[in-house]
């Protein structure tokens, strides 16, 4: 449910938090450029159902704002600074997941922030999942990454192209980091059922891979 917290620099921020019973494992969920909307909240509940024993923490990077307009989404996305977002992410973790084993997942813009959260948290992060987000390409930065990464991409994505995916794979390999990635015959944002480019078959297969990866890395397998 929606809860607020205070960052170290004094801002009042928000998360959508689903607490498991007596759990020290938390999945961080990062929203698309639309904000922490109904789709992301529903997805949080889906993860809570499919990952029993894991807290779900969807972090709001837009200070409570949501939109369904491209122009407004672009403005909100540009308003995020690395310093402010990292402060928000760090404070959310300290407030709701202090000392927990972490995993992160994000969609579109949120995929970028899922990887940034993994870079921020070091060995505390056990898994990172990127759905068609712009990844970090700097090998020197990637060398500090401690978590294995699962990448989910669309073959016909005009934004995160196959060339970008290949560059990311090369950078991760050069940095000596663990990357698995899958390219589906789909467009950008194919996972979101409210999007015109939604591909149910690719979304279903990607979700199955995601659950398998998260369960293994968070030690949930029986």
pLDDT digits (tens, 9 = 90+) for 106-154: 999 999 999 999 999 999 999 999 999 999 999 999 999 999 999 999 9
- Does the predicted model carry a pTM greater than 0.95? yes
Tally Cβ neighbours within 10 Å of residue 170. Answer: 12
pLDDT digits (tens, 9 = 90+) for 189-209: 999 999 999 999 999 999 999
The CATH number of 2-217 is 3.40.50.1820
What residues does each domain of the chain span? 2-217
């Amino acid at each position: 449910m929606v809860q607020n917290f205070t960052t170290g620099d004094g801002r009042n921020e928000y998360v959508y938090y689903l607490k498991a019973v007596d759990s020290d494992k938390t999945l961080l969920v990062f929203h698309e450029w639309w904000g922490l909307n109904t789709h992301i909240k529903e997805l949080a509940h889906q993860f809570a159902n499919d990952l029993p024993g894991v807290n779900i923490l969807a972090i709001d990077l837009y200070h409570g704002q949501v939109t369904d307009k491209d122009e407004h989404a672009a403005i909100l996305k540009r308003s995020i600074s690395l310093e402010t977002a990292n402060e928000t992410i760090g404070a959310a973790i300290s407030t709701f997941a202090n000392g927990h084993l972490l995993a992160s997942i994000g969609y579109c813009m949120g995929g970028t922030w899922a990887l940034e959260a993994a870079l921020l948290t070091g060995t505390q992060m056990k898994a990172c999942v990127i759905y068609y987000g712009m990844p970090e390409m700097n090998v020197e930065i990637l060398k500090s990454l401690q978590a294995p990464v699962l990448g989910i991409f669309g073959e016909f994505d005009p934004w995160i192209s196959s060339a970008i995916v290949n560059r990311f794979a090369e950078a991760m390999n050069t940095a000596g980091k663990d990357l698995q990635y899958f390219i589906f015959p789909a467009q950008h944002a194919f996972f979101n059922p409210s999007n015109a480019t939604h591909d149910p078959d690719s979304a279903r297969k990607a979700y199955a891979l995601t659950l398998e990866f998260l369960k293994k890395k968070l030690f949930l397998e029986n």
